[in-house]
Amino acid sequence: MTQSENLPPGVVSKLFRELQSIESDRIDGVRLVREATLPAGADSLSEIVADVSGPEGTPYEGGVFRMKLALVAEYPAQPPRGYFCTKIFHPNVSERGEICVDTLKRDWQPTYGIRHILTVVRCLLIDPNPESALNEEAGRLLLEDYEAFAAHARIWTRVHASPRIHVSTAGAADGGAPDADAAAETKKAPDTSPSPATTTCPDASSKDPLRQVMRNTGSPLREKRRSLKRL
């Protein structure tokens, strides 16, 4: 774990209570990695580490993606920084793993909690937003050729996010195309991945801020899928 960001004691206490709540009432498809978030003997909290299951019906299905939220000293006045430690081919994730979502940027509210953020991140795997792409290739493919995008994302998921593969928590991995041998080897292996839990992304008609974010984030991919079905 990184050095403590010297969060106020009241903020730390609230975070501990929220993490306990998430562990007892889990978010669909998200598992807190306690041993990485709270190592034995730790008395500080500066990162939240979680494993996110690829949602069913997406190119990420069957994968497990490790992510972390790095808490800044000004939290919750300022949002944490989000990273995927597992390589993922996604428009809103940079080659270094940085996550781009409005919830962690211009739409941030101090009242948002860790549960809110983790739910938004998993829903981003369901509905990527190519209009604010950090990975330009993924964003371009998603807009121009969904099938090519999905095929590329599935290969990365098989190679980098298989539950059989050890996922490093040292930091976000650099991006890069998987090599052909690794992809072929992955295809040969029997599929023993557990079925990931299904996240119910909130109804867009609600006034809740999370639901508004998901309505905005989800529209491009939903429209792309609808247009493909009409062909």
User: Looking at the annotation, which residues are catalytic?
Assistant: 100
Find the helix packing angle between 146-160 and 136-144, rounded to 10°. 140
Q: Residue with structure tokens 């501990």?
A: 16
CB 28 within 8 A of CB 52: no
User: Three-state DSSP class for 32?
Assistant: strand
Half-sphere exposure of residue 95: CA atoms within 13 angstroms, side-chain side: 7
| Residue 52 token pair | 């996110």
